[in-house]
Amino acid sequence: MADDLHAGYAALTPDTLRARIAAVPALAGRLGGDPAGWRAAEVGDGNLNLVFIVEGPAGALVVKQALPWLRLVGEAWPLPLRRTFFEWSALTRHGARDPGRVPEVFHFDEGQALLAMRYLTPHRIFRKAVIDGVIHPRMPGDIGRFMARTLFRGSALSLDGTALRREMALFAGNTVLSDITERLVFTDPYFAADGNRHTPGLAPFIGPLRADRALRVAAQEMKHAFVSRSETLVHGDLHSGSIMVTADDTRVIDPEFAIYGPIGFDVGMFMANLLLAYHAQSGHEERPGARDGYRAWLLEAVTGVWAAFADEFARLWRTERTGILYAPALFEAAGDPAGAEAALARVLRGILVDAMGFCGVEMHRRILGLAHVEDLEAIADPARRASCEARALETGRLLACGRADIGPGDVPGLAATIEREIAR
């Protein structure tokens, strides 16, 4: 059981949820009518929490509540309820740093570990759209800019030293969820850890992967970066299931793993999920080649995310560099604007190299570790799934080990690198 369990905490059911909402006039007013008539259903399919949709005559709400344990495993794996505080803290910062890109939070109840938010409709989880082969042309630009704005504005490029250290101290409290990332992403995939699982036909590929010393070193270099480089507030779990889409809108949800970490972390984790989807496509197509167009779009999306990220990051560098790093007094104001541009290019290249490393290990852990992705899990035929996964494992290895050899940080360099690695 979580050791921060509030005395009055009670995990909600659709029935008890009605009374909980009725006691908060601001929420009850959004639903309207008699609470007895509200329709409530638990719809969560994630690894950690309860998620309810509640509908009344005047509107609807999403209510997310943390359980004092990991939903995926059960009471044997306790988790702190305080993760909802970190999620709320990150959501409010994301909302301020990239307005309109996260759901509006109407109510936060710390004791109940509960967040009531705008019900996003007709949005759907991006991962489901990808499994169905639906193109969302806005997504790469929206997510690239979201990452640039949140990651730049949470960093020492934007914040003064006092604000930065206060922010770092606040999110440093998210220890248990950071520990999950540290173990599940960077260490467990590379040995026979408890909880790991994999598709049976994959066994011949796993031995050589775990025996690859360069890969184990690369994974630990990425872990070293994650635990020691507190550069900015990262979302911490930015995968295809943390994004909701329509044809016209993109929203980012679920930042409960938020922590101060490397700028490239979110970028690489999200790219990994696009590349996992890329490799999963042959498991979803009705005949060979039927998903070629979609596969190509997923690759374009990887480079599109990076292009939008790099463009927006550069714009913020030129217009909002108000923090303690790369002070304009040393560059533009000293008559050396070219120096600021040269430094920007070096910073972007470093982010891209990091991102490729994080991308590689995320691809591995979603195939070898505890928490997999539906893109691959939904492939019913184990032999077909293993074939997709084997190719994804190899791409991850090449990106993690070869991250320093990628192009100079430009988009053609990135596209060429990824295409070359996938084609090997």
Nearer to ligand SR1, 237 or 312 (CB): 237
* Window 174-193: contact mask with ligand SR1 (x via CB under 6 A): ------xx--x---------
Q: Tell me which of Mg ion, ligand SR1, none is bound by residue 180, counting a contact when its beta carbon lies within the kind-specific cut-off of 5 to 8 angstroms.
A: ligand SR1
Nearer to ligand SR1, 89 or 242 (CB): 242
Could you say whether residue 254 binds Mg ion (CB under 5 A)?
yes
- Residue from the set 4, 22, 47, 318 that interacts with ligand SR1 by CB under 6 A: 47
Give residue for tokens 């996938």: 422
- Residue from the set 50, 70, 168, 418 that interacts with ligand SR1 by CB under 6 A: 70
Could you say whether residue 272 binds ligand SR1 (CB under 6 A)?
no
Number of residues that bind Mg ion (CB under 5 A): 2
Nearer to ligand SR1, 114 or 177 (CB): 177
Q: Interacting stretch for Mg ion, rule CB under 5 A, among 163-171, 250-258, 314-322, 377-385?
A: 250-258
Number of residues that bind ligand SR1 (CB under 6 A): 9
What burial letters (b/e) apply to 175-197, b meaning 16+ CB within 10 Å? eebbebbebbbbbbbbeeeeebe
* Window 132-171: contact mask with ligand SR1 (x via CB under 6 A): ----------------------------------------
Q: Interacting stretch for Mg ion, rule CB under 5 A, among 39-47, 97-105, 315-323, 372-380?
A: 39-47
- Which residues in the 356-375 window bind ligand SR1 by CB under 6 A? 370-371
CB of 257 to ligand SR1, least distance (A): 6
Could you say whether residue 237 binds ligand SR1 (CB under 6 A)?
yes
CB-side neighbour CA atoms (13 Å) of 108 = 15
Nearer to Mg ion, 254 or 421 (CB): 254
CB of 257 to Mg ion, least distance (A): 7
CB-side neighbour CA atoms (13 Å) of 292 = 4
Q: Round to whole Å and give the CA distance between 50 and 248.
A: 28
Could you say whether residue 50 binds ligand SR1 (CB under 6 A)?
no
Site residues (vs ligand SR1, CB under 6 A): 47, 70, 72, 180-181, 184, 237, 370-371
Site residues (vs Mg ion, CB under 5 A): 46, 254
